[in-house]
Amino acid sequence: MARAIAAAALLRADPEKEVFLGLEANEQRVKTLDLSHHRVVAFATHGLVPGDLEGLGEPGLALSNPELAGARALLVSNRPVETVSARLLPLFWAPFSLVGDGN
């Protein structure tokens, strides 16, 4: 949590309004944000690749528990974030984010 707050400060984000932790970190929250005025979005989470979870056929990001948050727990590539602009630079602090099976 401290790293996310420190990163937000470096990126001149308002931690009170623009850092989402725990149950607030869910797919619905990400998809409903207006990111048009942002140039960077950072995800501090676990990256998943096909095979990490049963039925997972594409890379994704683990978010909050859907049973607790009431929203999807995974943000995967076939469900893009429509509000993200082409000039956005996503940053991922996620173990295994760059790991794949070579395909």
Give the model's pLDDT for residue 13: 86
Mean pLDDT score of the chain: 71
Token readout for 103 is 């395909």
Give the model's pLDDT for residue 70: 63
Give the model's pLDDT for residue 73: 61
What integer is the mean pLDDT of 61-66? 73
The model carries a pTM of: 0.61
Every domain of the chain and the residues it spans: 22-93
What integer is the mean pLDDT of 90-99? 52
Q: Which residues of 1-37 are buried (b: 16+ CB within 10 A; e: fewer)?
A: eeebeebbeeeebeeeeebbeeeebbbeebbeeebee
In this predicted structure, the answer to whether residue 21 has a pLDDT above a threshold of 60 is: yes
Tell me the percentage of the chain whose pLDDT exceeds 90.
0
